[in-house]
């Protein structure tokens, strides 16, 4: 299998090189046979890398410890189901995953991109194949997962215990695939610049792939937060860790891109902005790869000691130089057809949206690189923690949420004061009512109060749009309200799908505000039979059990939860010690409700062998954070669902004064 795997990588390298060169040459020379051959080579590279993936998976399943990567990331005791996780647990395996994902996604993108894009398509393919050539070359020459050991060990080292969690089946592939898919709209933009056809034709395909990348990356980030919440034992979900930030920054860039590109689609504006945004998003993704694999900044996520840092730094430098070089080369031709007519317009709201999102991205970037800069300048490493990010990014993110509530209500081009009053009256009134209700309920922390209120403005705006639209629809069609609502969603899927995703973001905001400002925490030592109280809960420690296994020793603590004297549930907190990794892995006991989570983490057992240290937390509204994920995904699916093709109809030149249509077609 090692030989097959290495052969598949060598073949893939040859194919990607060929595909890149022939696609570029074919586009330059208008030689369509070369372009076709290059496209076929792209498909073949996906096949070759797919065979490499299969070879590695089979090696894991066969416990082929002659392959170093298999020996380092699995053992005989590892359940088969973790083979999927072990595959991308290490640097080399994850590079193979990334390369295969890029090849597969590129093949799909090129097969589905309209032929009518002309030379843009082969140029885009050339860009993607150049990126893929880089990854495959790095893998082959510096991180080959099929390197063999001189002597075959009897057993492997085993999988990192932190990865034996359900979240690890989805979180890393989502993050890696999301980062990779950014390359597609990036390449389409570069294709437009390279071909010189600086029009809006690439916008449709760019938007679709941008949204797919955004949804995957966002879901991956949320899954990572859930993983951290359940397994890392500190009761939190986001620590502004450098590698978390490395995926968060391109997500911010993509958020700006998928909104800004609607302005280009609708008004032919923001052409420069969209090239800058997609270039920045891709560059931030490349920076993320550097952070994750170069290891310049310590993180719980990074692949540890690695010699690949300078290679990925070089890749980042070349990416930025070439993409922005092309941008400036075509600068004059990127001028938009239309101008911003008013600051009170949806276009202006999108412009402010772009600026705020980039501001958050760059504040985060500054926090990530500051330790490196401080070491370089002063010789002393100064780390930047959560307080910096919360203080600076907090208000910016709040402003973004406010914009999410107000922006969709503004009309295109310009708004009159009457339009604004009509659009905002009801949401403002509802938001005011929420503000008063929160005060009555005892929410007196000013930041939490303002944050909840602003978030509820978004929900009120979406609700107004849906209610007004459904009533108007029903008036015309006579259908029942649920049917009218479904018809409304179908008439403008991008808009209403976006609203569903916005509701998901509001739920996320609620969870963050509740858990950040109103959480309770208590550390305590309990003996069996003893109880402790936190919030409305009483937690009684029943006892713990130890279970020695082949590769670990497990310990489970059972606790009985009551609230106001009534029995609620029995919960179990777990920990496992892995001697081969000298690592303790934990799982919190979580009793979750929409109102709050009771969170219990089991820590050290005391010398008496009976009592143990527990961390007890009550985290309000965290449940809503995890519910946000399905809403964001649902909103994305609705937004991307293809519209029915309209039957072609003749359009006659309208006569001024002719009657207006009475309904939506």
Partner 1 sequence: MTIFLATLLVAASIAIVLYPLWRHRGGGPRLDDPAVELRDRLRRARDRTYQEILALQQERFMQDLSDEEYRARLDELRLHAANLIRQQNRMQDTLAEIEDTLEDELHKRGAGDQDA
43: helix, strand or coil? helix
The nearest distance, CB 537 to partner 1, in angstroms, is 47
Q: Find out whether 87 and 145 touch, Cβ atoms under 8 Å.
A: no
Task: For partner 1, give the closer residue by CB, 32 or 536.
Answer: 32
Give residues in contact with partner 1 (CB under 8 A): 1, 3-4, 7-8, 11, 14-15, 18, 30, 32-33, 35-37, 40-41, 43-44, 47-48, 51, 114-116, 118-119, 200-201, 204, 265-266, 411-412, 419, 422-423, 465, 468-469, 472-473, 491-492, 495, 646, 650-654, 656, 660-661, 663-665
Q: Find out whether 434 and 398 touch, Cβ atoms under 8 Å.
A: no
The nearest distance, CB 116 to partner 1, in angstroms, is 3
The nearest distance, CB 206 to partner 1, in angstroms, is 13
The pairing of beta strand 596-605 with beta strand 531-534: unpaired
The nearest distance, CB 32 to partner 1, in angstroms, is 4
CA distances from 80 to 6, 87, 517, 584 (A): 24, 12, 42, 22
533 is written with which tokens? 């109280």
Task: For partner 1, give the closer residue by CB, 29 or 570.
Answer: 29
Task: For partner 1, give the closer residue by CB, 226 or 270.
Answer: 270
Residues 6+ positions from 209 with CB-CB distance below 8 Å: 109, 181, 184, 185, 188
248 is written with which tokens? 């968060």
Query: What are residue 561's DSSP bridge partners?
Result: 539, 569
The nearest distance, CB 332 to partner 1, in angstroms, is 22
Task: For partner 1, give the closer residue by CB, 15 or 358.
Answer: 15
- Residue with the two structure tokens 């999988």: 159
- Residue with the two structure tokens 């980039």: 358
Distance CA 182, CA 462 (A): 29
The pairing of beta strand 531-534 with beta strand 520-526: unpaired
Distance CA 493, CA 486 (A): 10
Report which DSSP code applies to 384: -
Return the half-sphere exposure (C-beta side, CA atoms, 13 A cut-off) of residue 468: 13
Q: Which of 472, 492, 474, 493 is nearest to 482 (CA)?
A: 474
Distance CA 580, CA 589 (A): 26
Q: Find out whether 313 and 290 touch, Cβ atoms under 8 Å.
A: yes
The nearest distance, CB 118 to partner 1, in angstroms, is 4
Distance CA 55, CA 66 (A): 13
Task: For partner 1, give the closer residue by CB, 312 or 485.
Answer: 485
The nearest distance, CB 100 to partner 1, in angstroms, is 14
290 is written with which tokens? 């550097």
Using alpha carbons only, what angle is made at residue 539 by residues 603 and 555, rounded to the nearest 5 degrees? 35
Alpha-carbon Rg of the chain, whole angstroms? Answer: 27
Residues 6+ positions from 20 with CB-CB distance below 8 Å: 38, 125, 126, 129, 130, 132, 133
Using alpha carbons only, what angle is made at residue 281 by residues 255 and 334, rounded to the nearest 5 degrees? 90
The nearest distance, CB 487 to partner 1, in angstroms, is 11
328: helix, strand or coil? helix
The nearest distance, CB 52 to partner 1, in angstroms, is 10
The nearest distance, CB 2 to partner 1, in angstroms, is 8
The nearest distance, CB 431 to partner 1, in angstroms, is 20
Taking each helix axis from N to C terminus, what angle separates 386-406 and 346-378, rounded to the nearest 10 degrees?
A: 170
The nearest distance, CB 648 to partner 1, in angstroms, is 9
DSSP letters for 15-71: HHHHHHHHHHHHHHHT-HHHHHHHHHHHHHHHHHHHHHHHHHHHHHHTT-TTBHHHH
The nearest distance, CB 272 to partner 1, in angstroms, is 20
- Residue with the two structure tokens 């040859």: 14
The nearest distance, CB 521 to partner 1, in angstroms, is 47
Task: For partner 1, give the closer residue by CB, 197 or 330.
Answer: 197
Task: For partner 1, give the closer residue by CB, 478 or 548.
Answer: 478
Task: For partner 1, give the closer residue by CB, 468 or 569.
Answer: 468
Q: Find out whether 231 and 585 touch, Cβ atoms under 8 Å.
A: yes
């Amino acid at each position: 299998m090692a030989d097959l795997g290495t052969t598949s990588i060598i073949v893939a390298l040859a194919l990607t090189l060929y595909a890149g060169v022939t696609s570029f040459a074919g586009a330059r020379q208008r030689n369509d046979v070369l372009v076709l051959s290059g496209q076929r080579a792209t498909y073949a590279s996906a096949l070759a890398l797919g065979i490499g993936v299969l070879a590695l998976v089979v090696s894991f399943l066969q416990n082929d410890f002659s392959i170093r990567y298999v020996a380092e990331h699995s053992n005989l005791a590892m359940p088969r189901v973790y083979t999927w996780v072990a595959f991308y647990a290490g640097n080399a395996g994850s590079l193979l995953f990334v390369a295969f994902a890029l090849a597969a996604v590129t093949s799909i993108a090129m097969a589905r991109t309209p032929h009518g894009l002309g030379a843009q398509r082969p140029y885009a393919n050339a860009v993607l194949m150049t990126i893929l050539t880089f990854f495959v070359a790095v893998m082959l020459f510096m991180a080959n997962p099929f390197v063999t050991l001189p002597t075959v060990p009897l057993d492997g080292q085993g999988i990192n215990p932190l990865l034996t969690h359900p979240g690890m089946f989805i979180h890393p592939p989502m993050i890696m695939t999301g980062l990779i898919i950014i390359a597609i709209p990036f390449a389409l933009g570069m294709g437009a610049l390279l071909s010189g056809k600086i029009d809006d034709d690439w916008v449709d395909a760019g938007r679709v792939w941008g949204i797919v990348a955004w949804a995957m990356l966002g879901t991956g980030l949320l899954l990572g937060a859930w993983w951290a919440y359940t397994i890392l034992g500190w009761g939190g979900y986001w620590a502004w860790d450098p590698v978390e930030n490395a995926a968060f920054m391109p997500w911010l860039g993509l958020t700006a891109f998928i909104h800004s590109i609607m302005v280009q689609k609708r008004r032919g504006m923001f052409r420069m902005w969209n090239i800058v945004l997609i270039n920045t998003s891709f560059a931030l993704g490349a920076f993320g790869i550097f952070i994750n694999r170069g290891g310049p900044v310590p993180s719980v996520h990074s692949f540890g000691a690695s010699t690949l840092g300078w290679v990925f730094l070089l890749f980042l430098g070349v990416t930025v130089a070439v993409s922005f070089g092309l941008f400036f080369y075509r600068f004059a031709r990127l001028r938009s057809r239309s101008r911003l007519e008013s600051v009170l317009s949806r276009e202006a709201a999108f412009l402010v949206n772009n600026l705020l999102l980039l501001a958050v991205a760059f504040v985060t970037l500054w926090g990530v690189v500051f330790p490196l800069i401080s070491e370089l300048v002063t010789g002393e490493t100064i780390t930047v923690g959560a307080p910096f990010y919360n203080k600076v990014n907090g208000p910016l993110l709040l402003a973004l949420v406010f914009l999410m509530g107000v922006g969709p209500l503004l009309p295109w081009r310009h708004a009159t004061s009457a339009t604004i009053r009509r659009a905002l009256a009801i949401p403002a009134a509802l938001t005011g009512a929420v503000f008063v209700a929160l005060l009555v309920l005892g929410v007196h922390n000013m930041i939490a109060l303002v944050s909840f209120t602003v978030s509820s403005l978004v929900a009120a705006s979406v609700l107004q749009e849906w209610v007004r639209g459904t009533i108007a629809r029903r008036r015309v069609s006579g259908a029942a309200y649920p049917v009218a609502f479904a018809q409304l969603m179908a008439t403008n899927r991008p808009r209403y799908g976006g609203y569903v995703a916005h509701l998901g973001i509001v739920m996320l905001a609620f969870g963050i505000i509740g858990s950040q400002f109103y959480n309770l925490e208590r550390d305590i030592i309990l003996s069996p039979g003893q109880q402790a109280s936190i919030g409305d809960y009483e937690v009684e420690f029943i006892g713990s059990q130890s279970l020695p296994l082949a590769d670990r020793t497990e310990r489970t603590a059972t606790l009985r939860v009551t609230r106001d004297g009534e029995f609620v549930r029995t919960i179990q907190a777990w920990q496992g010690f892995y001697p081969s990794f000298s690592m303790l892995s934990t799982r919190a006991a979580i009793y979750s409700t929409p109102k709050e989570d009771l969170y219990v983490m089991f820590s050290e057992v005391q010398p008496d062998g009976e009592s143990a240290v527990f961390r007890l937390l009550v985290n309000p509204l965290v449940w809503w954070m995890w519910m946000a994920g399905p809403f964001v995904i649902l909103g994305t699916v609705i937004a991307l669902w293809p519209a029915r093709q309209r039957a072609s109809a003749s359009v006659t030149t309208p006569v001024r004064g002719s009657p207006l249509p009475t309904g939506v077609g």
